[in-house]
Amino acid sequence: MSPAKRRVTVVLFEGFELLDVFGPVELFRIDRSLFDVELIAPLAGAVRSSQGPEVVATSSFADAAAPDIVLVPGGQGTRALAVDADFLAWLGAWAADARLVTSVCTGSALLAAAGLLDGYRATSNKRAFAWASSHGASVDWVPQARWVEDRNRWTSSGVAAGMDMAVAIIASIHGPEVAAKLSDAAELDVHTDASWDPFAAKNGLA
């Protein structure tokens, strides 16, 4: 791995949201010289998504290498994991020293429940905001935001918002010109304003 190349480790679990994972992964891997991506899960092998299709994780949580960039998706499976003490202890210890800790949608509830957002600003899926924001001891939850960047913690709103956050992360690491090139390659109309969030009002949060 060259010095400029970063590694994104995606934490999979039964009931993860497909676009939370593969929207960002698509952008990270358009230019394969910039990012590597690895998928991990409780056990290596097939993991079923909320939508049904299965994805193959190449490593178990126990065997996962120390992370560079962590990406935790949302999905229906977050409800059980948010009260799974063993999972939360593992996530809190494993991700604590990562250079970036990120989440899409209700993945932020898992970060919060693991203590990884204490003292940070964060956001989440607006339809599930009340549930997500009930986690964490001292999280400054932001109800109206497409995504929130606070030091090395990045959290996005629901599902498709993860792609806008991914572009912003790419811009922060490799520059806005590279980020624009990749989003253009994906024919993605990116929202570059982190405060743009019509879904907050639609869900009674603004």
CB 188 within 8 A of CB 160: no
99 assigned to active site: no
Q: DSSP of 86-98, one letter per residue? A: HHHHHHHHHHTT-
Give every CB contact of residue 191 below 8 A, 6+ residues apart in sequence: 146, 164
Which of these is catalytic: 47, 88, 100, 105? 105
**How many Cβ atoms sit within 10 Å of the Cβ of residue 51?**
12
CA–CA distance, 70 with 95 (Å, rounded to integer): 7
Radius of gyration of the CA atoms of the chain, in A = 16
Q: Which positions are annotated as active-site residues?
A: 105
